[in-house]
Structure 1
């Protein structure tokens, strides 16, 4: 059981679609089980993981992020392409846009954020100056350009605890801080991927304007309806990146745990 690449599907992205010889597996980890679908695309082994479960049965604050990322690590994944449904904090970031996230602000409250909480694993202060691997973001950007897929290059993701939507006052604050989009899942996923020395990138799919910007109350159905228009587009983008290949890992991601040594 092995894979080079992983696609983590967020809200609305529950189907691995283009994978050949796809088989579902449950991988046991020290943090609990994780579900994946393994298959092949363009001669490369790919793992697909539905972040919220295949039937969207897991709320964002209840996702076992540590089990999910550890399972991908155990089967050899070195590159993760993740989707996320996000709301827009700015009028210029429009519903339907795809945003190549390049930084985050963590507003979560109760989630385990690290694999390294002390003995016996040790403690690590992971460097997140390039949280979303710049090398992989470059490949995503170039692939989008080659295939005519419109992509907003750069955006700061504010990650909230959920599962409730944010208040208008919170939205005003996040926008004043420089946030561009808001969602509920990038933290701790991106942190754990870095601790696992993986290259990780997220494309956010803007489904709505946030509270106080939107002209009407937000609903989960609105998110799902807007997602339907984008699922095929982002699926094509990710599989094209995998087909194209991401080359030698010249970024710092493979050495993120240099102070501790490898896992």
Structure 2
């Protein structure tokens, strides 16, 4: 394989809390970007006829808190590798009793409550204004593939839901959690923005898959439900990490069929 092809990938995956590697045997590539280095080296594996690029968004050893992740570099690294679909599994707190720990939500909307993050590639409009449509932050075709993969693996995945993205690294107060729920939120997370808007600017179809680890600050309906703790999040995620891997593996054949062959003029999943 040529050096150029070795630095190419079809599908990108961002690993989240507790999800730091995709496979034991993988090629490792360093990707330079104008925005600085991404969170770490990118590992690439061959799966289902696809080259799959994996990058842990928090870096080795989870050294980067959510407000310090270089999201621009991470997304641009995937763009430079040529990925045509970007999967973003993430840990999330549930805001609703019917969405339970251990279940998934294949999100269709988000509300950005973060601040101070570099959330666009356009620091200036050198060639005129660039305002990217963002009414649908998650690619519908990619969402469908992930839902079908969930059904095939037998995991519970809710079809649609709004993720409220908070700045972190602290968790929400009870008042904030209630506010997010009353405003229409289903789950809460700290990293989906600016990942999703940057992917939109980069022209990469994007899917956010929440693995529910907790009930955020608790449930008004059940006073016995404790507020989230870091230990609980990591314990639940670790116990369910095999489901994340199974879901990704099950999605790859459909992604391969949707993406088609790589090379000049190759389509994205949305065009299938």
Question: Given the alignment of the two structures, is residue 30 of structure 1 paired with residue 40 of structure 2, yes or no?
Answer: no
2:111, 2:30 → 1: CA distance?
Answer: 32
2:269, 2:46 → 1: CA distance?
Answer: 25
State the shift of 1:147 in Å: 2.9
Which has the larger displacement, 49-58 or 236-245?
236-245
State the shift of 1:242 in Å: 1.4
CA contact (8 A) 1:101 1:132 kept: yes
Gaps (5+ residues) in structure 2? 1-6, 260-266
Task: Evaluate the alpha carbon distance shift between residue 24 and residue 211 of structure 1 in structure 2; reply closer, same or farther with a 3 A threshold.
Answer: same
Gaps (5+ residues) in structure 1? 255-263
* Residue of structure 1 equivalent to 2:12: 6
State the shift of 1:141 in Å: 1.1
More helix by share: 2
Question: Given the alignment of the two structures, is residue 236 of structure 1 paired with residue 246 of structure 2, yes or no?
Answer: yes
Regions of 4+ moved over 3 Å: 248-254
2:209 to 190, 193, 203: 203
Give the TM-score, by structure 2 length: 0.87
1:62 to 62, 68, 72: 68
RMSD: 1.9
CA contact (8 A) 2:146 2:251 kept: yes
2:128, 2:190 → 1: CA distance?
Answer: 28
Give 3-state SS (helix, strand or coil) of 1:216's partner.
Answer: coil
Question: Given the alignment of the two structures, is residue 129 of structure 1 paired with residue 130 of structure 2, yes or no?
Answer: no
State the shift of 1:117 in Å: 2.6
* Residue of structure 2 equivalent to 1:146: 152
State the shift of 1:234 in Å: 1.2
State the shift of 1:130 in Å: 1.7
* Residue of structure 2 equivalent to 1:52: 58
CA contact (8 A) 1:139 1:246 kept: no
2:15, 2:269 → 1: CA distance?
Answer: 24
1:217, 1:149 → 2: CA distance?
Answer: 25
Task: Evaluate the alpha carbon distance shift between residue 15 and residue 169 of structure 1 in structure 2; reply closer, same or farther with a 3 A threshold.
Answer: same
* Residue of structure 2 equivalent to 1:183: 189
More strand by share: 1
State the shift of 1:148 in Å: 2.2
* Residue of structure 2 equivalent to 1:73: 79
Give 3-state SS (helix, strand or coil) of 2:193's partner.
Answer: helix
CA contact (8 A) 1:116 1:122 kept: no
Instruction: Spell out, residue by residue over 1:196-240, the C-alpha distance to the aligned partner (whole angstroms, 9 max, x if none).
Output: 110110110110011142733432110000001221111111122
* Matched residues, number: 252
CA contact (8 A) 1:5 1:79 kept: yes
Question: Given the alignment of the two structures, is residue 247 of structure 1 paired with residue 250 of structure 2, yes or no?
Answer: no
1:216, 1:252 → 2: CA distance?
Answer: 41
Task: Evaluate the alpha carbon distance shift between residue 136 and residue 246 of structure 1 in structure 2; reply closer, same or farther with a 3 A threshold.
Answer: farther
Give 3-state SS (helix, strand or coil) of 1:230's partner.
Answer: helix
* Residue of structure 2 equivalent to 1:259: none
Task: Evaluate the alpha carbon distance shift between residue 118 and residue 193 of structure 1 in structure 2; reply closer, same or farther with a 3 A threshold.
Answer: same
Task: Evaluate the alpha carbon distance shift between residue 77 and residue 169 of structure 1 in structure 2; reply closer, same or farther with a 3 A threshold.
Answer: same
State the shift of 1:253 in Å: 8.0
